[in-house]
């Protein structure tokens, strides 16, 4: 998909590049930030390679970076940009809640981590925090990590394997004999995101089949069979 560059902005404004393969996300961020005159969206990229190319050209202050994109992942793009353009603050914008993704992204050079269902004020808080050279985690993720510290063995995690809330949701849908396409529609996420979650579940559980996943889930009271 081609991209377009929006009008340049002066140095007093915070220049923002959006990198996501779903146009609805671009429109959503525009709607969220349109009432803030100091934030100027200078460009739109729809895959990882495009994000890197546009960041090199436009030198934005901030990039909102989807983790799962075609041609080059958001994490690969972040590694490249953080080494080439260290002044650019990169904020993940994703549906992946797993702490492993958070750690990997931040270690790759990212400065913030937002979930796509974050509220308007969180986008503003994330921008302001990273511009002050602070890291930012979405409120929901911060609470989740704090809960793990305070209660390392919550009711839904009766083994050393950590499944995210979204992964548990998908396992429940699988147990209802839903196809990946049906799961994507019901959870309002992309088919590729569902397949990525399914692959991660298989890897975490060392499962060879759906039956193995369901046996594990039933054993740990995640589903009823």
The reported pLDDT for the residue numbered 145 is 65
The reported pLDDT for the residue numbered 101 is 80
The reported pLDDT for the residue numbered 188 is 87
pTM over 0.85: no
The reported pLDDT for the residue numbered 127 is 96
% of the chain with per-residue pLDDT over 70: 86
The reported pLDDT for the residue numbered 222 is 83
pLDDT, tens digit, 9 for 90 and up, residues 43-98: 999 999 999 999 999 999 999 999 888 888 899 999 999 999 999 999 999 888 77
The reported pLDDT for the residue numbered 151 is 54
The reported pLDDT for the residue numbered 4 is 44
The sign one gets for the Cα dihedral 159, 164, 170, 173 is: positive
Domains detected in the chain: 14-143 (3.40.50.2300), 165-219 (1.10.10.10)
In whole angstroms, give the CA distance from residue 133 to residue 29: 22
Rg, Å, the chain Cα set:
19
| Cβ neighbours of residue 127 closer than 8 Å, sequence gap 6 or more | 14, 16, 39, 62, 91
N- to C-terminal Cα separation, the chain: 43
The reported pLDDT for the residue numbered 11 is 40
Contact 73, 67 (CB under 8 A): yes
For the chain, residues with pLDDT lower than 50 are 1-11, 152-159
């Amino acid at each position: 998909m081609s991209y377009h560059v929006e009008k340049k902005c002066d140095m007093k404004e915070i220049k923002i590049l959006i990198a996501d393969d779903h146009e609805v996300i671009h429109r959503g961020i525009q709607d969220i930030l349109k009432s803030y005159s100091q934030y100027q969206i200078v460009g739109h990229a729809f895959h990882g390679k495009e994000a890197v190319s546009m960041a090199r050209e436009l030198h934005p202050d901030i990039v909102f970076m989807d983790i799962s994109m075609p041609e080059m992942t958001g994490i690969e793009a972040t590694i490249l940009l953080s080494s080439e353009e260290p002044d650019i603050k990169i904020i993940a914008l994703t549906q992946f809640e797993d702490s492993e993704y958070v750690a990997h992204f931040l270690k790759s050079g990212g400065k913030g981590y937002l979930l796509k269902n974050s509220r308007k004020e969180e986008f503003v808080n994330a921008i302001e925090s990273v511009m002050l050279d602070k890291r930012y985690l979405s409120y929901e993720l911060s609470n989740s990590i704090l809960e793990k510290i305070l209660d390392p063995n919550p009711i839904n995690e009766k083994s050393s394997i950590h499944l995210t809330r979204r992964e548990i949701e998908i396992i429940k849908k699988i147990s209802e004999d839903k196809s990946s396409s049906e799961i994507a529609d019901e959870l309002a996420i992309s088919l590729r995101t569902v397949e990525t979650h399914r692959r991660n579940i298989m890897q975490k559980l060392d499962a060879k089949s759906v039956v193995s996943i369901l046996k594990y889930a039933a054993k740990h009271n995640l589903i009823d069979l």
